[in-house]
Amino acid sequence: MAGFSFDRRIARAGELAQKHAPVSQLLRFYQELARFQKSACEALARSEDHSVTALLPHVPALLSVVRQAGSPALQQTAQELADLSREEWLELLSGGGQPDRQEQELSPEYAFFVHALLQPQAEYLASRTITPTDSSPPLCPFCNSKPQVGVLRPEGDGAKRSLICSLCSTEWNFRRVVCPSCGEENKDLLPVFIASEFDYVRVEACDTCHTYIKSIDLTKNGHAVPVVDELASVSLNLWAQENKYSKLSPNLFGV
């Protein structure tokens, strides 16, 4: 993720876990997961094999993290996945590399494991590739996945918006007043909601397609790490759902 190292994500999760008790357990789990992904990414950097096969040696470590800190549903799935053969893991990971296919065929629990393994590989590969980020495509210009979260950065007297990929963490520029789901440009149909508890997190909704994406406003909180603060503000997701908006792309934990 451009500008947001694994170490920053891990540290930020710890900070937010101390401030927000309702999501502290989730954030502690994310910390352990980020440590696992950092290790997997560093191993890929040392290896000459960057294919899906190179992820297989990291499966036991991921299963261990989930057994120790995951939800009951994920722990149960970890038990099931522990019995998969090498060939079955390869098939699972190869299919999971296609976001739309993954959403259609995998349960949220299985999708978690697939994504948790593919993310460090995708992020490593993206970091070694020069990808144009100045245009405004609705999908990631590197891997064609949906964006996970938006970011507002200072620009002149205002702020510019970018999007961060849900799989490879590529960040690319995106026009501020446009829906990344359907392309709606009428500002009257693009309401923004902000809660006092997270005054730097914007729920950017669309009344045309009834989707939303959260954007982290770094002009208001320069210490925020988008993927972590998006997770910490899960209460805003629940509010959006109650108001009939669907999230453009669920995060790693399915929310």
pLDDT per residue as tens digits for the range 123-152: 999 999 887 777 778 999 999 999 999 999
Q: How far is CA 117 from CA 130, 193, 231, in A?
A: 23, 33, 19
- Report pLDDT for 132: 76
Q: Which residue has the higher pLDDT, 106 or 220?
A: 220
% of the chain exceeding 90 in pLDDT: 85
pLDDT of residue 252 exceeding 50, the answer is yes
Band of residue 3 on the pLDDT scale cut at 50, 70, 90: low
Band of residue 173 on the pLDDT scale cut at 50, 70, 90: very high
Picking from 1-10, 99-108, 139-148, which range would have the lowest pLDDT averaged per residue?
Answer: 99-108
What's the pLDDT tens digit per position in 199-243? Answer: 999 999 999 999 999 999 999 999 999 999 999 999 999 999 999
pLDDT of residue 81 exceeding 70, the answer is yes
pTM of the model as a whole: 0.91
In the chain, the N- to C-terminal Cα span, in Å, equals: 20
Residues 245, 237: Cα–Cα separation, whole Å: 9
- Report pLDDT for 106: 82
pLDDT of residue 86 exceeding 90, the answer is yes
What's the pLDDT tens digit per position in 46-57? Answer: 999 999 999 999
